[in-house]
Amino acid sequence: MSILVTGGRGAVARGLSALLASHGIPHRVGSREPAGPDTVHCDLSDPATFPGALEGVRSVFLYAEASGIDAFVKEAVAAGVEHVVLLSSSSVLAPDAADSPLSASHLAVEQALSASPLRTTLLRPGSFASNALGWAWSLKSGRPVHLPYPGAYCDPVHEADLAEAAFAVLTDPALGGRAYTLTGPQTLTFEAQLSVLGHALGRPVPFEAVTAEQWKSEVDGYIPGPYAEALLDFWASSDGLPLELTDEVHHLTGHPARTFETWVKDHADAFDA
């Protein structure tokens, strides 16, 4: 069994590759910027890179890049790929998923795979715990974190749990061929996350509530306007409303999902001044 792990520079792909290597499972890592003998050129927006990356591959861990998905499906079928595990998003479950920048790409890839003969497993995480890295600059500079919706809830999931979930569905045929919604074990507001962060780091993490327009102006140039608008809409919809959690991480990995506190401890150095 040979596995292609796309998105080689991503945290989930790196974790999955390490798990496959530790179990002696043949695999190759695909990346837009390959580095090292075990990495192949695989740019999911460039179909010319697909044939070489897919040669001899039977399973693929796929990131959701919509621009080249039709060509990728065609080449995967031609190469004899049997199983694709897609890192999608729980945002595809929203009624307006097709019209939202947060979910449209993921939904388009899901639909292309579902219409193909490839056996497909969908991993749909909620919020990545690593989104908290966006606060690192404020912490390092001693400035308060600006939050347009401090009371908005999310379900932060550790990237290590996503890697283990992907490993499980890639290596156990009984688990494949269905969709999994993956969440962390807690539904936390942004304010609560900052409290956890401060407690773990041993220093307070101040925040300041700002207007949506102020936040948009601050992230202009970093987050495209439509995407910023979609984020604001999502946060507004979950302001004061805890999210529904699942036990799918436990089901796939055999252990409870890691807490946000665990994620902070694992990444404390990212917040050091």
Assign residue 47 the CATH number of its domain: 3.40.50.720
- Same domain for 116 and 133, yes or no, is no
Whole-number average pLDDT of the chain: 95
Closest CA to 78 of 52, 46, 108: 52
Is residue 220 a part of any domain in this protein?
yes
pLDDT tens-digit readout, 88-97: 999 999 999 9
- Give the Cα separation of 244 and 184 in Å (integer): 10
Q: Is 103 helix (H, G, I), strand (E, B) or coil?
A: coil
Give percent of the chain above pLDDT 90: 89
Which residue type is seen at 181? T
Q: How many CA atoms lie within 13 A of 167 on its CB side?
A: 24
pLDDT tens-digit readout, 165-209: 999 999 999 999 999 999 999 999 999 999 999 998 898 899 999
**pLDDT at site 273:** 64
Residue 115's domain comprises 3-125
- Give the Cα separation of 250 and 98 in Å (integer): 30
In this prediction, residues 150-164 reach a mean pLDDT of 98
Q: Is 72 helix (H, G, I), strand (E, B) or coil?
A: helix
Q: Are 86 and 113 in contact (CB under 8 A)?
A: yes
- Give the Cα separation of 230 and 222 in Å (integer): 14
Is residue 29 a part of any domain in this protein?
yes
Of 78, 106, 125, the domain-final residue: 125
In this prediction, residues 150-158 reach a mean pLDDT of 98
Q: Are 171 and 232 in contact (CB under 8 A)?
A: no
